[in-house]
């Protein structure tokens, strides 16, 4: 009982989303989304609450029809807003792991895993063998005869995953599956999900609002905002070359600093200080400069641009301190070697150590290579 997705050409996208749009009562939840996902990828849909990522996942799963556009799995159209084509969720060769786990409370762990196999017409012998296999794979053999109410949240999550991967779906859809777990268990399950992805070779689509999860797990990331894809690509590309100010400040730990500047001859000026050359952004009278936290420090450095700020807080990170200061109403994050602390509200000097990482125009679009 192998997945049909295993037979598709490696050049055929496992998932092709074309001009996908979803409206609810005139409100646009997903707006003209176009994404092509190679087979075996781990795509993470990330963005703030209400950005459309869960609605997009529900359309992939067959739980919502699109208003416009279409979705194809392995070159086969599974839903289309134009033609009205809709393949049922059960016939899409896709499995969905819900945020709430959604286990059947009246069935044992074994029964929860068995049911989708029975629906898929697996024989009794094949079902028994597959149940044994996924119980062992997820290290929950001892829970076989327990009911969901008798096991922990982390164990329920493993059962939900076991139930989903049991029929060997070619596409695995995960809707914020770790959000109900405590911090340590989230980290452990993150590694577990990556192991499952490698072992099953399923193309995975994972929804989260947590950008750390996105950058840790993904081969591809789609950053959504207001129903649209701000940027799509490998995680390192989005970190190193953000195309919008939203991506630049949403991804990365700590987030990047955007400094509003005005042209002063051949320089960009901020708060009376010439920060950077303006020659690589001709025609711009105002701009936004992206500085990473590691490109700013606290304390004056000879020959480098410096601005006065008010100390807000600091947090130790791997032998350094992540220091947050306020310049007027703007928060600026800097990195300082060792341990740093000051009185809240105390005046400090922040120094810009390097040229900005990128220049954006007033509309938030990148203008530098």
Q: Is pLDDT of 90 > 90?
A: no
What does the buried/exposed string (b/e) look like for 230-247 if buried means 16 or more CB atoms within 10 Å of the residue's CB?
A: bbbeebeebbebbbbbbb
What was the pLDDT predicted at 2?
A: 45
pLDDT in tens, 36-68: 999 999 999 999 999 999 999 999 999 999 999
What was the pLDDT predicted at 299?
A: 94
Instruction: Return all residues near 365 (Cβ < 8 A) that are at least 6 apart.
Output: 243, 244
Nearest-angstrom CA–CA distance, 223 and 233: 9
Q: Which band of pLDDT confidence, cut at 50, 70 and 90, is reported for residue 9?
A: low
What was the pLDDT predicted at 1?
A: 42
Q: Report the DSSP beta bridge partners of residue 21.
A: 68
Mean pLDDT (whole number) for 219-246: 96
Q: Span 254-360: which CATH code?
A: 2.40.50.140
pLDDT in tens, 270-318: 999 999 999 888 889 999 999 999 999 999 999 999 999 999 999 999 8
Q: Is pLDDT of 115 > 90?
A: yes
What torsion, rounded to 10 degrees, do the Cα atoms 278, 284, 285, 286 define? -90
3-state secondary structure the chain: CCCHHHHCCCCCCCEEEEEEEEEECCEEEEEEEEEEECCCCEEEEECCCCCCHHHHHHHHHCCCCCCEEEEEECCEEEEECCCCCECCHHHCCEEEECCCCCCCCCCCHHHHHHHHHHHCCCCHHHHHHHHHHHHHHCCCHHHCCCCHHHCCHHHHHHHHHHHHHCCCCCEEEEECCCCCCCHHHHHHHHHHHHHHHHHHCCEEEEEECCHHHHHHHCCEEEEEECCEEEEEECHHHHHHCCCEHHHHHHCCCCCCEEEEEEEECCEEEECCEEEEECCCCCCCCEEEEEECHHHEEECCCCCCCEEEEEEEEEEEECCEEEEEEEECCEEEEEEEECCCCCCCCCEEEEEECCCCCEEECCCCEECCC
Under a CB-based contact definition with an 8 Å cutoff, are residues 310 and 343 in contact? no
Handedness of CA 83, 231, 362, 314 (dihedral sign): positive
The region of weakest confidence among 79-93, 125-139, 150-164, 354-368 is 79-93
Class of domain 4-243: alpha beta
Inter-CA distances, 109 with 154, 190, 282, Å: 13, 22, 64
Q: Is pLDDT of 99 > 90?
A: no
| Mean confidence (pLDDT) of the chain | 92
CA atoms within 13 A on the CB side of 98: 8
Mean pLDDT (whole number) for 102-120: 94
Inter-CA distances, 185 with 12, 61, 157, Å: 36, 26, 11
pLDDT in tens, 127-163: 999 999 999 999 999 999 999 999 998 899 899 999 9
Q: pLDDT: is 73 or 86 the higher one?
A: 73
Domain ranges within the chain, ordered by starting residue: 4-243, 254-360
Mean pLDDT (whole number) for 97-117: 92
């Amino acid at each position: 009982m192998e997945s049909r997705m295993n037979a598709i050409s490696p050049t055929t996208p496992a998932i092709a989303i074309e001009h996908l749009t979803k409206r609810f009562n005139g409100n646009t939840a997903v707006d003209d989304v176009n994404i092509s996902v190679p087979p075996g990828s781990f795509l993470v849909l990330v963005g703030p609450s209400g950005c459309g990522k869960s609605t997009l996942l529900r359309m992939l799963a067959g739980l919502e029809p699109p208003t416009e556009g279409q979705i194809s799995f392995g070159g086969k159209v599974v839903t289309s807003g134009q033609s009205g084509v809709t393949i049922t969720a059960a016939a899409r060769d896709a499995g969905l792991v819900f945020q709430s786990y959604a286990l059947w409370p009246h069935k044992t762990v074994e029964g929860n895993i068995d049911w989708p196999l029975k629906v898929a017409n697996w024989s009794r012998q094949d079902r028994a063998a597959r149940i044994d296999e996924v119980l062992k794979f997820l290290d929950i053999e001892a829970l076989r005869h327990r009911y969901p109410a008798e096991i922990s949240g982390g164990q329920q999550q493993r059962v939900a995953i076991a139930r989903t991967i049991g029929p060997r779906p070619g596409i695995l859809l995960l809707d914020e599956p770790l959000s109900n777990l405590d911090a340590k268990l989230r980290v452990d399950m993150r590694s577990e999900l990556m192991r499952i992805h490698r072992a099953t070779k399923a193309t995975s689509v994972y929804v989260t609002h947590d950008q750390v999860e996105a950058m840790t797990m993904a081969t591809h990331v789609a950053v959504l905002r207001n129903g649209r894809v701000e940027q799509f690509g490998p995680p390192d590309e989005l970190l190193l070359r953000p195309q919008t100010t939203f991506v630049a400040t949403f991804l990365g730990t700590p987030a990047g600093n955007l400094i509003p500047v005005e042209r002063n001859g051949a320089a960009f000026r901020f708060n009376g200080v010439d920060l950077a050359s303006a020659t690589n952004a001709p025609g711009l009278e105002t701009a936004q400069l992206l500085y990473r936290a590691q490109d700013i420090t606290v304390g004056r450095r000879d020959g480098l641009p410096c601005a006065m700020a008010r100390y807000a807080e600091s947090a130790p990170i791997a032998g350094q301190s992540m220091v947050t200061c306020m310049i007027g109403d703007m928060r600026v994050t800097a990195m300082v070697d060792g341990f740093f602390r000051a009185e809240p509200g105390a005046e400090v000097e922040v120094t810009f150590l390097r040229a900005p990482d990128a220049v954006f125009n007033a509309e938030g679009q990148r203008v530098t290579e």
